[in-house]
Structure 1
């Protein structure tokens, strides 16, 4: 697994998480977006499950924690010696597909940009280009087998300018077990744009393209992403594409003894 990115702690978490995800692939309680393993739904044993995952790989969390109990759940995890973070859970449905089409019709990707999709046949240079754009913006790329759609259905997208310079990224991964009630939901996002191309609608257009690609390639009918409360620009962008704040939050947990980074991704 050479295509793994981030700090040493993040790399260890991704590699361990990818191996663990294979072992848990038949259990619909879990999912993985290529950045560890998470519990999907909150329930009576969720704290035990999350703590076990954190002790194994350094970081984990629960994706669907109702907002009204999130602080209690967070305190329960912290009482177990874990460090926590709460992230907004934005969700879109079929309406997001229509809004993506409308967004591209009204403001398409700038004409000097072309889009390459990362798959199993893509060069290592293209995967590296994704990381070079996304990581300075705090967006941790999925591990290579996930970004390439090898270990589970997914893809990355890189927008290049006329000189072949990578300027923006997006992607999606279908991470839930087919038996899960929300099996048609994908982790969507990974949006990042180099500073000199910001303010030109590049991220919104590429995000819209990723929604349509996920609908076509992965059969996605629902779209989710996590956004930190301070990241108001991302919240506005996602909302404009029909991926909106929900009644849930993501509660992430880190092992302070094995994971020194403040958070996994922005």
Structure 2
């Protein structure tokens, strides 16, 4: 499966490794989603609750990418009844508005002079990837698997800001989410993994990197539609999504964790 680059606790690394294996098995089936953590289903119409539960049992985590808000509570209750820990995220989405907003950010906001932006690829040093993982995990954000971060597995990219000591102080990522032939979500990219070293917060690093990530996904892979999940009430994340031209609609992302695989009850914040 290529590079064995998985990060986090022992439990998190094991879940990411199983997710990568499931992606190899199911990646050609358009019902399934994968963006570098675990395989899920694009929505309930692509597989019933038993199928989602089976994915979570095998991997330790799985999610529906698009659930109508009025159906989310019933799905969460059903998952709880099966012994899983459900997680609900508001789904924020944007297309032309996101691209326009990203362009405005890039035109008006720059990284501080002591920082350099780097896109990860096959030649990126292990040290830079380890620095990225340490910083992101310290912020409670679980990095995607290394093959996705490096853009080796699917249309995807990860941008980092590096200081003069080669330390990663901020990051943002984007990846294809659903199968390219999925009738509803095939041309929609996941966007996120925004994290910044606490010592550098207030400098709008995530905003700048996030904007560049959106524009590079459009330029390199022709994605013009983006989505991300935000936990309800997470005001900082909601603010940056709004600044980036994404809006909260009538859909949620509903995931679940097997507590036997992840004692913390969730993959990432």
Q: How far 1:174 moved relative to its partner?
A: 1.1
> What CA distance in whole angstroms lies between the structure 1 residues aligned with 2:53 and 2:153?
25
Residue correspondence of structure 1 range 239-254 to structure 2 within 5 A? 239-254=242-257
Residue correspondence of structure 1 range 117-128 to structure 2 within 5 A? 117-128=119-130
Q: How far 1:72 moved relative to its partner?
A: 0.7
Instruction: Please say if residues 259 and 265 of structure 2, whose CA atoms lie closer than 8 Å, have aligned partners that are also in contact.
Output: no
Q: How far 1:205 moved relative to its partner?
A: 1.0
Q: How far 1:109 moved relative to its partner?
A: 2.2
Which of 251, 255, 260 in structure 2 is aligned with 1:257? 260
The answer as to 2:212 corresponding to 1:214 is: no
Q: How far 1:127 moved relative to its partner?
A: 1.4
Q: How far 1:195 moved relative to its partner?
A: 1.1
Report how many residues are paired. Answer: 266
Q: Deviations over 1:119-164 (max 9, x none)?
A: 1222211211221221111111011111111121212111012343
> What CA distance in whole angstroms lies between the structure 1 residues aligned with 2:112 and 2:157?
22
Q: Unpaired runs of 5+ in structure 1? A: none
Q: How far 1:42 moved relative to its partner?
A: 2.0
- TM-score normalised according to structure 1 size: 0.95
Instruction: Please say if residues 172 and 210 of structure 1, whose CA atoms lie closer than 8 Å, have aligned partners that are also in contact.
Output: yes
Does 36-45 or 176-185 show the bigger shift? 36-45
> What CA distance in whole angstroms lies between the structure 2 residues aligned with 1:110 and 1:246?
34
Q: Deviations over 1:103-126 (max 9, x none)?
A: 122222223221110112222112
Indicate the SS of the match to 2:45.
coil
Indicate the SS of the match to 1:43.
helix
> What CA distance in whole angstroms lies between the structure 2 residues aligned with 1:192 and 1:259?
22
Q: CA RMSD in A?
A: 1.4
